[in-house]
Amino acid sequence: MSKPVIAIVEDEEELRENLCDFLEFKGYEVLCFDSGDAAVAGCGDWKADLALLDYLMPGLNGIEVMKRLKEVHPDMPIVFLTASSQGMVKESARLKGAEAVILKPYSPNELIETIERILSRTA
């Protein structure tokens, strides 16, 4: 059985590297991108079981990245990671098709539980 693949799009280098390392340790295969532009540039060349997107990034923001990824991978679940606790951000992301929004800083357990819950529904 192959490992689930998680795409991570996070512009903050240390956070991205820690997240990639943590998810690999938990048994996932990860694809790491340092910007929304990098993720969508080659999105036809990769497929993930789930994508974790930073909501606010330079260049393409998370909503725009999600729209473009969904054009190529319409069934791929999207989870936003954001430092903004504004309800408007969460509502906007969900209305546009995100499966979940996780507020930074988040606990490792919250992240894994969210990923496992979503992947169990799509399996």
Q: Measure CA 91 to chain center.
A: 17
Looking at residue 97, its pLDDT comes to 77
Phi and psi of 29, rounded to 5°? -90, 135
The whole-number pLDDT of residue 94 equals 62
What is the per-residue pLDDT for 23?
98
Taking only the tens place, the pLDDT of each residue in 79-120 is 999 887 666 566 666 657 789 888 888 899 999 999 999 999
CATH number of this structure's domain 5-122: 3.40.50.2300
Question: Does residue 80 contact residue 55 with C-beta atoms inside 8 Å?
Answer: yes
Can you give the pLDDT at residue 56? 85
**For 52-61, how does the pLDDT look when each residue is reduced to its tens digit (9 = 90+)?**
999 888 888 8
Residue ranges covered by each domain of the chain: 5-122
Q: What's the pTM value of the predicted model, to 2 decimals?
A: 0.90
Sort 10 into a burial class: Cβ within 10 Å, 0-12 / 13-18 / 19+.
Answer: buried
